[in-house]
Amino acid sequence: MGSWFNKKRAPDGTNIIQHGNVETRLGVTEGSTGFARERETVYERLFGKPLIVSHELLPLIPHIDVYTFKRSQGEKEVYSLVTGGMSDLEMTLPRGADKDAPRRVELIFYCTEPRDEYISTLRWVAHFPHASKSWLGHGHTMPNGNPPAPFWGTTDLDTLFFLPPIVRKDQTLPSELSLDGEPVHFLWVVPLTTAECNFKLTNGFNAMLDLFQQNRHPHVFDPHRTSYV
């Protein structure tokens, strides 16, 4: 059973929650077949046909697939890795959460190369709120362990930051897709350093956005990016 313990507040007022044991379940999510069809129809309108779909092999609840889409950005090719299945279930929002906080979400990650490590990480993150009976929302951060370890062979990028998607077309998902009456939102997955995460926890979400703007943070993941702090 998922559990929350050692809850405290960061200087910016953010709740910091460490999770105990998490529970993954086997089976099929009720309504998942219809949900998948609805999602894929909307994804095709937003992104076109997927290049490939990484199907989850184990019958976990929810079932998480990861779609790889390609877009042209000038002379560059940009890939969007998008989860499908995280929104089959509503997340467990705490008491007092903003009434507009999304209950159904999917993850999106922009990169220049659709590596298997990225796909595995997205699948792991997509399962986390359901297995831990918690939630992920805009402005949340999630370290890679305690102490956090760098992701994907990078030097310092060891924490994930979740934002609304920066690509305008992808911002339209809530108006395009609702499941059981709940709009589905994207969480844009942005790797951070520990120093940047601490900056956000100390100074707040808006200060972090200002820092991104000052450094012209690219929406496409750069594994060689140095810390802004």
38 within domain boundaries: yes
Residues spanned by the domain of 37:
17-98+117-136
57 within domain boundaries: yes
Low-confidence winner among 54-58, 98-102, 167-171, 223-227 (lowest mean pLDDT):
98-102
pLDDT in tens, 118-149: 999 999 999 999 999 999 999 999 999 999 99
142 within domain boundaries: no
Residue 95 to residues 134, 135, 159, Cα–Cα distance (Å): 11, 12, 26
Q: How far apart are CA 111 and CA 183, in angstroms?
A: 26
The residue ranking higher by pLDDT, 74 or 167, is 167
Please say whether the beta carbons of 71 and 51 come within 8 A: no
59 within domain boundaries: yes
The single residue listed with the structure tokens 């997927």 is 50
162 within domain boundaries: no
Please tell me the total count of domains within the chain.
1
Q: How far apart are CA 177 and CA 221, in angstroms?
A: 26
Q: How confident is the model at residue 28 (pLDDT cuts 50, 70, 90)?
A: low
82 within domain boundaries: yes
65 within domain boundaries: yes
223 within domain boundaries: no
The structure's pTM equals 0.87
Which residue intervals of the chain are DSSP H helices?
32-47, 116-131, 173-176, 194-203, 205-214
